[in-house]
Structure 1
């Protein structure tokens, strides 16, 4: 243990600790807020119409089941290693610290790109429909910039206020989306606008070869539809990134993950059926940059439609808020272990605000920099959400493979276990993830792969520098028994505080 830097240990009672006050509902709200039906479907539905036609919605149940299996595995990991930094911490301790650092950097890359993808949705697909204007790439850029700044200010000044806003937004989203689904079905039925034959319509795509697997550089039309669900149902593991701020994380965090997916899966499928059955002119809706907003406004009228679109904006803002919050915790955790560029500043917790202000500023700046790259790109939304789907797939695949190989050497769980279902769950999760990775062989994903490779190259340069200056032993992490001891000490400190 002598080779471990002092900052590699989660301190108990020190100035670099985070307050443990996240409740079970707030943990669920973090997972649900990141996944967010409103955000994912509003962002990716138009792309699904273009690549798969309306019938692409039937890939949604496949993704829900696949991601649920992944969530069970990640929940099992989080119950055994409930420490802020999720995939970075798990891989560092279960596999090796070098691979752990790589996973941490990939996770950071994912969080900053998905932050841009989510916040960009407000400016590119919702506001134009709500305010009746034709937005351009530059308009979307500066509006998204303001949104990120607002989120960063809220996170930097108060974690409690951030959690409260997100919990409120998630409650509104659950109620609002449920009401929206009911209204769409009821009004659509009353006006005789529901056309369920559209659920099996392929749009402008030929039925010949529609279900084919495709070729080496081309994916079949129907299977491209999985991107809708794969982009939406990610980030549920963000609850684990606040493990050190959550009460009873080994029990609460895994439950928050699978509950978020089940909630989004069921409600999202009903929403997709309603929207698709009300599409009307499929060709016109496929060409529209805001098909869902157009359907809502046409069916429910401009007033109700605008109110519901306002709810969508709140939900998307909360989603971006959770993403930025998760990103700051990851940067803080890696900086606490002296592994992130600029860790000397980034591991600090503000003495008054009790938040990682410096880490928040950094993630926001990197997000703004990435956003500026796409400021003139008319295809920015597709590139952003594609990259934000590819990266978590890589993270999940490595995490599940690691679990499959090392599951017998993991520390015991005090809150969640797969039990006799472990092998089938892990097998299904791996099969789903390997299939999902094959989707990204399509030539349309050239730009997302380019972004990933550039970010990995930047990370590789810093990793080489770390290894050259510290050596492999300088990147060592605490042993599992040390982690358990630290968590036990943390619980003891909380108990003593409560007693006095």
Structure 2
């Protein structure tokens, strides 16, 4: 692969490049390379991902579930490499939507963005709802349903305020979130390995009978969801492409750093927790349903645990903030291209804060409504959130597929980052990985439940895509957008 680039890029060069793509940006390029990386890292959030799914993964697949971090990390790195080529050529705000637009066309891009936007909005709801109990724990308040909802809304409000303060404040907040999370991961993981290790590394190859009498591969595939749910967030680096100087060179680096550093941090935390769980069979038997709290309580005591809870809470807030930034830039990109109802509002821009205010409002109000809805039906919010990770993967793979189609039709990436002759095989491998991961996420694993609950993840995807198709038929605004599209493919082969 090659990265033949000049060492720096002047603001005029960035503006000229964007102008050649048909846009004049209103954003300020106030986001440094490390802030851009931190945005992706806090979206990926090793702490949030590992702490949320550790109990499930350990109970389902035993300690060998940790190897899913390596497998998924390689797969998502392939996707990130494909994205790097695309964003280097098309550094436009909104990420997967404008990329799909340039690689394929308007309607395909509309559906890609729709799936991704819905997934982002429900992910914001799920992250803030998941952070509610940590707010309660930090302040010593009972984690009732009403309190969790209240604290989730508070997290959404704080994240929204940070985003409304502009790119410079968002960048600083992302860096603070990154520093807090990485220090927390190193301190917690290091102390557990040094002072509270109950097992040696050999335990990572002991399934503790989680496969039953059948093939352990099925148990591992289910437990591997901890890895699959962990490795996204790198695309957020490209969602804010118009706020980063020299984006064609810097954003591909930030995407790769997100995978390397985020993946390493998540794996380290997971390893430390596995080796510190004294009674793994109790977790597998369902006798210890919250091994993370058990381990942290034993290792750090009440005061130390409280400090760790604050770090975890910062991680949840940073994750929600980064998700909201990504969702608002996508909604703004939709509005700027006149691709959806309400485009005139979504495309409006604050001249003082240099942010899209109405797009940010959407990224706050919709998740808040979903969170409030959990008061009336916890089961309903569970079903809605079931779509979140699969939806993000679907949007990713729609871009990967569009890139493969464009290559076969003659597209040669012309940005500052290129895979060269490796582009096609990496693209094919990224698509193959993504399909396997999506099948694993949607695979029914609760045969005793009603059929619609057993297939809830796949059904939720069908519902979201179906609503999008109906909207495109009833309100065919996507086909009337005059913004540039399909220009990656040489004319005559589109």
| TM-score range normalised by the length of the shorter chain | 0.7 to 0.9
- How far apart are 1:453 and its partner, in Å? 3.3
Residues 196-228 of structure 1, C-alpha deviation per residue, up to 9 Å, x if partnerless? 45434445734422424xxxxxxx211112210
| Counterpart contact for 2:239–2:329, Cα < 8 Å | yes
TM-score, structure 1 normalization:
0.85
Gap change, CA 1:333 and 1:456, over 3 Å in 2: same
Q: State whether structure 2 residue 210 is matched by structure 1 residue 208.
A: no
| Counterpart contact for 1:148–1:364, Cα < 8 Å | yes
Gap change, CA 1:429 and 1:454, over 3 Å in 2: same
SS at match of 1:478: coil
Gap change, CA 1:175 and 1:387, over 3 Å in 2: same
Gap change, CA 1:133 and 1:224, over 3 Å in 2: farther
| Counterpart contact for 1:77–1:90, Cα < 8 Å | yes
Aligned length: 460
Distance in 1 between residues matched to 2:160 and 2:249, nearest whole Å: 29
TM-score, structure 2 normalization:
0.86
Partner of 2:466: 457
Q: State whether structure 2 residue 138 is matched by structure 1 residue 140.
A: no
- How far apart are 1:18 and its partner, in Å? 1.2
- How far apart are 1:165 and its partner, in Å? 0.9
| Counterpart contact for 1:42–1:121, Cα < 8 Å | no
CA RMSD of aligned residues (A): 2.7
- How far apart are 1:39 and its partner, in Å? 1.1
Q: State whether structure 2 residue 85 is matched by structure 1 residue 76.
A: yes
Q: State whether structure 2 residue 425 is matched by structure 1 residue 428.
A: no
Q: State whether structure 2 residue 118 is matched by structure 1 residue 109.
A: yes
Q: State whether structure 2 residue 250 is matched by structure 1 residue 252.
A: yes
Q: State whether structure 2 residue 170 is matched by structure 1 residue 165.
A: no
Q: State whether structure 2 residue 411 is matched by structure 1 residue 410.
A: yes
Gap change, CA 1:198 and 1:479, over 3 Å in 2: closer
SS at match of 1:232: coil
Gap change, CA 1:8 and 1:136, over 3 Å in 2: farther
SS at match of 1:236: coil
Gap change, CA 1:223 and 1:382, over 3 Å in 2: farther
- How far apart are 1:187 and its partner, in Å? 1.2
Distance in 2 between residues matched to 1:289 and 1:168, nearest whole Å: 32
Partner of 2:161: 153
Gap change, CA 1:8 and 1:106, over 3 Å in 2: farther
Partner of 1:25: 34
Partner of 1:475: 481
User: Following superposition of structure 1 onto structure 2, how do residues 184-203 of structure 1 map, counting pairs within 5 Å?
Assistant: 184-189=192-197, 193-194=198-199, 196=201, 198-202=203-207
- How far apart are 1:283 and its partner, in Å? 5.0
Partner of 1:265: 263
Distance in 1 between residues matched to 2:207 and 2:488, nearest whole Å: 56
SS at match of 1:301: helix
Partner of 2:46: 37
Q: State whether structure 2 residue 401 is matched by structure 1 residue 401.
A: yes
Gaps in structure 1 of 5+ consecutive residues: 1-6, 213-219, 484-500
Partner of 1:498: none
Gaps in structure 2 of 5+ consecutive residues: 1-18, 447-453, 490-494
Distance in 2 between residues matched to 1:449 and 1:8, nearest whole Å: 40
Partner of 2:8: none
Distance in 2 between residues matched to 1:94 and 1:340, nearest whole Å: 20
